Amino acid sequence: MSIIRIQGITKIYQLGDEEVHALRGIDLEINQNEYLAIMGPSGSGKSTLMHILGCLDVPTSGLYDFEGRNIAEMDGNELAEIRNQKIGFVFQNFNLLSQSSAYENVELPLVYAGMSSGKRSNRVMEVINQVGLTDRADHKPNQLSGGQRQRVAIARAMVNKPSIILADEPTGNLDSKTSYEIMKLIKDIHDLGNTIIMVTHEEDIARFCHRIVRLRDGVILSDTKQVPENVPV
Amino acid sequence: MFLFRLFNSVNLSIRSLFSNLMRSGLTLLGIIIGVSTVIAVISIVNGMNDYVAEKIAVMGPGVFFVEKFGIVRGREDWLKRMRWKNLSINEYEALSKQMMEAEAVAAMLSRSRRITYKDLYISSTSVRGATANYLSVSEIAVEDGRFFTEFEEQRRAHIVVIGSDIKKALFEDVDPIDKIIDIGGVKYKIIGVFETAGSVLGNSQDNFVVIPLKTYLVYYSGLYRRSSWTIGIKIKDPDRMFEAQEEARSILRRVRKIPSNKEDDFSFISPEAVMNFFEEFSGIAFIVLIGISSISLVVGGIVIMNIMLVSVTERTKEIGIRKAIGAKRGDILMQFLIESVLLSLFGGLAGVIAGYLLSQAVAHFSPLPSAVKPWTVFLGVAVASSVGLFFGIYPAWKASKLDPIIALSYEH
């Protein structure tokens, strides 16, 4: 069943007098429980595509159908609601709130969803437990290692039970051992039935995915399925 | 859900304010100064109003005075009144004979003289010559001894009733009754002592003596032509103050032969008139000082706006993160708005405390009284939070408008 259907998406930025064509017509269909890597060199448009997929930005033209709703026609508040309910973000530099504990960081999407504090605490502890940080819940980000921070970010991405998890270079700031641990965690989350879209430029990371979409100069170069390798942990 | 989000935002805001205590404190200086001035000014003006009202009550109900000068409002007014004819025995006699509304009509004149008892003296005391019914127009009572009689006044007796300051200064361990004192070279026997009236704005009301008017006219007559009489009128029905003043007015105009097209050339002083005048005066003081404190409130507000703008810039990344995980514009707007309201609310509370201490200090070290009313506390806090709300709108709006992608990629 398809979650995301994209047709003829373009994105044009105005950079001074110059028009930058970041995306020049992208067609893409992503199904439930896929594990997809979007790859490409810098300037290929993969970040732009990621932003549009994540409803942080809207395309200049084209159709973006997310679970039957046209994203291109939504206003800021509707997009915020989609981001809150349907999408979980994992970033390269973790993007945690430095003043808040791991628990509070994971809790935040539920706060914006308007869930009561009693219901929140159960759900928050459930996902924190799932990423293996139960005993670190009250630590601030600066008291956690890089791998632990990314686990907090993954917990935050999952806490609202989103339709897709969008990971932007999730291992970009981690050493290879920690990277594999994180990839193993993401694989486990995928195995539970989640849909995962990952942006990366590392072939070493992309080999754990089921499908690889390669971009160059704002168009799709190739879209291939593969048998994923096991994460060596 | 809204309340719940509000609570959450308040929580977040307090955390961020306390993480920057020094900066928050400096930011709030303007608000603190503004609010404390407002509180102090209101307290002092209130205190003076209470005080004057209390002092005026000393005049007693149903009493008013006729004077040449009355309440002078500025130099022009004073120059005009200077040219008016003095009030004299003619006005006094006309009023005491003709006025139907009056229960008693008293007259008095006064001068400053040196008072001596043995080797002790007071260099300047108000010497009042008064008619024997003086006590019916004055609220002050005789505490020891007695006042003089009509008969004693008629025979120009050398007797005196002294204010409590005189007793304190000249008769520390001695009973003053029947002692002889010297007032400007003339000897008088003390027959009574007044109770203590206290002081008005630091001026003692007890440094005076009262002698019979006719005695006064004998010994200080070289001067009486130049001084105008004060006539005190106690009316029969305190509710008919207006009618009584109208009656006195028509008698006085007849005696003084004022043509009907000319205005009065004399003044009435009643408790109401003094209170009205004082309220008018304190109203002006109030407006001026509130004006000054509004300036510091506006400056304080601008400082808050500035610091909130800095805070928005510093926390651009945080705003980006919040937006990425689903914060709506309203959520961000609310967070920053609450933060600036809370910030200035703390300033308001600090200002209320500072203003309270300030007004207490003023009351303690100066003759100005002070009364802090509970509602001024609410006023201070309300004013401060409104300033925070108003000057927080722009920074909060700016924060809410940030593009999440740009905010997320912001590095400082």
- B38 lies in the same domain as B90: no
Which residues in A lie closer than 8 A to residue B15 (C-beta atoms)? 99
- Within 13 Å and on the Cβ side, how many CA atoms surround B343? 38
Give the one of A51, A117, A160 whose C-beta lies nearest to B405's C-beta: A51
Q: Which residues of chain B have pLDDT under 70?
A: 1-9, 11-13, 15-17, 19-20, 54-60, 200-202, 221-226, 412
B34/B85 same-domain check: no
Helix axes B316-324, A76-86, angle to 10 degrees: 70
Residue B35, both tokens: 């609010």
What CA–CA distances, in Å, run from A145 to A133, A136, A189, B353?
Answer: 12, 11, 21, 46
- Identify which has the larger pLDDT, B368 or A90: A90
Spell out which residues of chain A touch residue B16, defining contact as CB-CB under 8 Å.
Answer: 99
B130 and B178 both lie in a single domain: yes
Flag whether residue B4 sits within 8 Å of chain A, measured between CB atoms.
Answer: yes
Nearest to B1 among A97, A108, A114 (CB): A114
On whether both B105 and B12 belong to a single domain, the answer is no
- How many of the other CB atoms lie within 10 Å of CB of B223? 10
Minimum Cα–Cα distance from B329: chain A residue: A77
Could A84 and B326 be called an inter-chain contact, meaning their C-beta atoms sit closer than 8 Å? yes
Chain A residues with CB-CB distance to B404 below 8 A: 56
Q: Residue A130's domain is classified under what CATH number?
A: 3.40.50.300
State whether B329 and A111 contact (CB < 8 Å): no
- Helix (H) / strand (E) element for A211: namely strand A211-216
The residue type at B385: S
- How high is the pLDDT of residue B26? 78
Contacts of residue B398, Cβ cutoff 8 Å, sequence gap at least 6: B309, B312
Instruction: Specify burial of residue A210 (Cβ count, 10 A radius: 0-12, 13-18, 19+).
Output: middle
Contacts of B329 in chain A (CB under 8 A): 76-77, 80
Of A96, A109, A116, the CB nearest to B326: A109
B360 and B229 share a domain? no
**Domain end (from B223, B247, B269):** B269
Domain assignment present for A64: no
Q: Dihedral sign, CA of B207, B211, B217, B218?
A: negative
Question: Token pair for residue B352?
Answer: 């209320």
Rounded CA separation A80/B324 (Å) = 7
Q: Which of A56, A108, A113 sits opposite B404 (nearest CB)?
A: A56
Same domain, yes or no: B128 and B256: yes
- Model ipTM value: 0.93
- Spatial contact of B69 and B79, defined as CB atoms under 8 Å apart: no
Q: How many domains does chain A have?
A: 1
* Residue B221 contacts residue B192 (beta carbons within 8 Å): no
Residues of B in contact with A156 (CB under 8 A): 325
Residue B74 has a pLDDT of 76
Say yes or no: A83 contacts chain B, CB-CB below 8 A: yes
| Residue carrying the six token digits 């509180």 | B39
Q: Residues B256, B214: one domain? A: yes
Question: Which residue of chain A has the CA closest to B410?
Answer: A95
* Alpha-carbon span A220 to A57, nearest angstrom: 19
Mark whether B37 and B126 lie in a shared domain: no
* Domain assignment present for A40: yes
Which range has highest mean pLDDT (A12-16, A150-154, B26-30, B65-69)? A150-154
State pLDDT tens for residues B182-207: 998 899 999 999 998 877 666 778 88
Assess whether pLDDT exceeds 70 at residue A122.
Answer: yes
Closest to A8 in 3D by CA, of A24, A32, A30: A24
The predicted structure's pLDDT at residue B4: 61
Structure tokens given for B284: 């002006």
- What is the spatial distance between Cα A97 and Cα A99, in angstroms, rounded to a whole number? 6
- B151, B262: one domain: yes
Residue A17 resides in a domain: no
Among all residues of chain A, which has the CA nearest to that of B402?
A76
Residues B68 and B213 in one domain: yes
| B49 shares a domain with B70 | no
Residue of A nearest to B18 (CA): A99
Looking from the CA of B141 toward its CB, the CA atoms found within 13 Å total: 2
Range of the domain at B361: 2-54+276-408
A11 touches chain B (CB under 8 A): no
A140 close to B (CB below 8 A): no
Measured distance CA(A102)–CA(A110) in Å, rounded: 14
B42 shares its domain with B96: no
Q: Which residues have CB under 8 Å from B92's CB, separation 6+?
A: B105, B107, B229, B231
Q: Which of B269, B288, B305 is the last residue of a domain?
A: B269
Counted residue by residue, chain A has a size of 233
Whether residue B16 and residue A99 make contact (CB cut-off 8 A), yes or no, is: yes
Query: For A96-103, what is the mean pLDDT?
Result: 90
What pLDDT, on a 0 to 100 scale, did the predictor assign at position B411? Answer: 73
Residue A52 lies in a domain: yes
**Is the CB of B404 less than 8 angstroms away from the CB of A91?**
no
> Could you tell me the end-to-end alpha-carbon distance of chain B, in angstroms, rounded to an integer?
34
Measured CA to CA, the distance from residue B53 to residue B271 in angstroms comes to 8
Opening angle at CA A24, ends A22 and A29, nearest 5: 105
3-state DSSP assignment of residue B398: helix
Are the Cβ atoms of A95 and B331 closer than 8 angstroms? Answer: no
What residues pair up with B234 in beta bridges, in sequence order?
Answer: B63, B104
Beta bridge partners of B235: B102
* Any domain includes A133: yes
For the cut 80, the answer to whether the pLDDT of residue A144 exceeds it is yes
E-strand ranges in A78-202 read 87-90, 164-168, 195-199
Shortest CA distance from B1: residue in chain A: A114
CB B394 within 8 A of CB B304: no
pLDDT per position as a tens digit, B14-52: 766 676 677 777 778 888 888 888 888 888 877 777 777
Q: How buried is A222 (Cβ within 10 angstroms: 0-12 exposed, 13-18 middle, 19+ buried)? A: exposed
CB-CB contact of B241 with B234 (8 Å)? no
Q: In whole angstroms, what separates CA B321 from the centre of its chain?
A: 57
pLDDT score recorded for residue B412: 62
Q: With 0-12 CB in 10 A as exposed, 13-18 as middle and 19+ as buried, what is B275?
A: middle
Q: Which residue from A222, A219, A223, A221 is spatially nearest to A23, judged by alpha carbons?
A: A219
Chain B's closest residue to A54, CA to CA, is B324
Domain that holds residue A119: 34-57+76-225
Minimum Cα–Cα distance from B9: chain A residue: A111
A51 touches chain B (CB under 8 A): yes
Put simply, the answer to whether A91 touches B408 (Cβ < 8 Å) is yes
Report how far residue A69's alpha carbon sits from residue A5's, in angstroms, rounded to the nearest whole number: 10
Residue B331 touches partner A, C-beta closer than 8 Å: yes
Q: How far is A76 from chain B (nearest CA, A)?
A: 8
Cβ pairs bridging A and B (under 8 Å): 63
Q: What is the pLDDT of residue B296?
A: 82
Domain-located, residue A8: no
Domain count, chain B: 2
* A84: closest chain B residue by CA: B326
Residue to substitute from B2, B325, B335, B402, interface A, most A β-carbons within 10 A? B325
- Cβ contact B325–A57 (<8 Å): no
Return d(Cα B408, Cα B406) in angstroms, integer: 5
pLDDT-derived band at A35 (thresholds 50, 70, 90) equals: very high
Q: What angle do CA B246, B250, B253 make, to 5 degrees?
A: 135
> Is B324 in Cβ contact with A57 (below 8 Å)?
no
Inter-chain touch B321–A99, beta carbons under 8 Å: no
